Amino acid sequence: MCEQSYLDPRYRWAVAYLRALIQAPPGPPPGTPPEVVRERAQQRLERLRAFLHFLGDPHRAYPVIHVTGTSGKGSTSAFIASILHAAGLRVGLHISPYLQVETEKLQIGGALIAPDRFADSVAELDEAVRAWTARGEQPLTYGEFWTALVFHAFRQEAVDFAVVEVGVGGRFDLTNVVLPEVAVITTVGLDHIRTLGPTIRDIAWHKAGIIKPGRPVVTGVNDPELLAIIVEEARKLGAPLRTVREGHDFTVRVERDSTLLIDSRIGARYRLGLSGRFQAQNAALAIAAIHALGWPQDRAGPAIADGLAATRFPGRFEIVQEQPMVILDGAHNPQKLGALLAALNDLPKPVRRIVVFGVLDGHDASEMAALLAEYADVVLTTAPEATLRTAADPLELARLFEQHGVTAVPIRRVEDALDIALRVAQPDDQILVTGSLYLVGQARERWYPSAEIVRQRTCWPEPRTDSGADARPICREQHATM
């Protein structure tokens, strides 16, 4: 996080309040029996439901689209919110986690919530928690408070619609108190196995848990074994299910500076605001979610076209500089990384590709290194910072790359690794920063300082030009929706 000392003192108080609630790393200790994990998760959900009822059930005050998935859920949520915004609705968007500033998780009407309104909401919820605990109830955890804060703020800001991204899993995620108009399950892959279970079938079961009785669900899952779990959940609950598949529902074409999605059903061509071939699947799921609302085509069509083109989302195949080109992507599991690497093939081939790579402990660094080794000429391994979480040792990461014949140099500080990469890169080289969303958040500070993001309420404020590198920032425009 950058220095925010000159921002509104009430905003700084709100941020400090929230961070003080962080007391332990997420998830149970390794080896905790699954039944214990589920019992604890159910208790948290019930406590949050009770507290939300105490608040007057703010999560019932507006219609919701609920989005989960191992990969793509953030981008899909951003696409959906942008389409709703283009339709003239006041939209609340919740994403998880944030990259740089807390207000990224609370977007209202196409912008980050105003700092003073953010502070107001935290203060109001603090007062409610005090009244809640005075009745003898248990205090809220960080996650419970944050989830209640989102729903409360959406009600206070009088949103017409909310798009809510799941944090982890789905069935026992704290956001799963909502009764959505549409549920979206993007993909299922191996990630967060400590909390969701050791097998991919376990993870699919967790994702399917956001399906609600009689409410439509759309999914991009196409593996027959995993799709069967979602189909069975939808059948039991009487939820209409639509699957979205490339080649059947849409095709994709990538140009030098943009991705085009062609809707196979009606032949419409949509230009996407997010780069990367993999974003076409996310956009197609967003289109399916909008159609599931039952809007007439004369309303849905223009909103879809305008919304998809206007969508912006930080840290996902984000080109922040040219000559040398710098790409930031928080691909923190092998599935995400595979999609990122495939998208690199649609860009001009660089003379050299310099990779800045860092992950937290517990991620599959070995498989990710094996995938990246095919694309990297040199790797700088580093250690992203995260509250109460440990980064993988850069020296051990470097050894993983060296096993695949790739030169790797451990540089512990993220800022130092970026300095070196920018200093040695030539104009026709490419720098790829990936491996962790925490890493990407720290790297973005060079081009988009946190204080400017909070002040301007967008993740694309005017970048600083005094970074010390011969950078040419290209993302200067403020966009309506992230």
Whether pLDDT at 474 is above 50: no
The last residue of one of the domains, among 291, 310, 329, is: 310
- pLDDT tier at 371, thresholds 50, 70, 90: very high
Asked if residue 240 and residue 94 are part of one domain, the reply reads: yes
Specify the higher pLDDT residue, 346 or 37: 346
- Give the pLDDT mean for 126-154: 96
Whether pLDDT at 471 is above 70: no
pLDDT score at 375: 96
Whether pLDDT at 453 is above 70: yes
- Give the pLDDT mean for 104-115: 96
- Six-digit token string for 165: 């991204």
Specify the higher pLDDT residue, 38 or 205: 205
In a domain, 51, yes or no: yes
- Six-digit token string for 434: 């990936």
Whether pLDDT at 470 is above 60: no
pLDDT score at 468: 41
In a domain, 298, yes or no: yes
Asked if residue 401 and residue 266 are part of one domain, the reply reads: no
pTM (two decimals): 0.92
pLDDT score at 194: 62
pLDDT score at 466: 43
- Give the pLDDT mean for 123-145: 96
Which percentage of the chain shows pLDDT scores above 70?
A: 91
pLDDT score at 461: 74
Residues spanned by the domain of 90 = 9-310
In a domain, 2, yes or no: no
Asked if residue 355 and residue 287 are part of one domain, the reply reads: no
The last residue of one of the domains, among 310, 345, 360, is: 310
Residue 300: Cβ-neighbour burial (10 angstroms; 0-12, 13-18, 19+) = middle
Asked if residue 152 and residue 204 are part of one domain, the reply reads: yes
Whether pLDDT at 325 is above 50: yes
Q: Which residues, 6 or more positions from 35, have their beta carbon under 8 angstroms from its beta carbon?
A: none
Which percentage of the chain shows pLDDT scores above 90?
A: 78
Asked if residue 211 and residue 172 are part of one domain, the reply reads: yes
Model confidence over 72-93: pLDDT tens digits?
Answer: 999 999 999 999 999 999 999 9
What is the pLDDT of the chain when averaged over all its residues?
Answer: 90
Beta strands 353-357 and 217-219 are unpaired
Whether pLDDT at 266 is above 90: no
In a domain, 469, yes or no: no
- Give the pLDDT mean for 25-50: 79
pLDDT score at 27: 62
Asked if residue 125 and residue 164 are part of one domain, the reply reads: yes
DSSP state for residue 409 in the 8-state scheme? E
CATH classification of the domain holding 359: 3.90.190.20
Cα–Cα distance for residue pair 326/212, rounded to 1 Å: 42
* CB 194, CB 181: distance < 8 Å: no
- Six-digit token string for 316: 């996902």
- pLDDT tier at 392, thresholds 50, 70, 90: very high
Asked if residue 75 and residue 203 are part of one domain, the reply reads: yes
In a domain, 455, yes or no: no
In a domain, 470, yes or no: no
The last residue of one of the domains, among 276, 310, 344, is: 310
Asked if residue 185 and residue 254 are part of one domain, the reply reads: yes
pLDDT score at 41: 85
Asked if residue 292 and residue 181 are part of one domain, the reply reads: yes
Model confidence over 271-287: pLDDT tens digits?
Answer: 999 998 999 999 999 99
* CB 438, CB 450: distance < 8 Å: no
Asked if residue 353 and residue 303 are part of one domain, the reply reads: no
Asked if residue 334 and residue 306 are part of one domain, the reply reads: no
DSSP string, 281-326: HHHHHHHHHHHHTT--HHHHHHHHHHHHHHB--TTSSEEEETTTEE
- Six-digit token string for 394: 């850069």
Domain count, the chain: 2
In a domain, 184, yes or no: yes
Q: Which residues, 6 or more positions from 2, have their beta carbon under 8 angstroms from its beta carbon?
A: 100, 445, 449, 450, 451
In a domain, 473, yes or no: no
CATH classification of the domain holding 248: 3.40.1190.10
Asked if residue 106 and residue 230 are part of one domain, the reply reads: yes
- pLDDT tier at 469, thresholds 50, 70, 90: very low
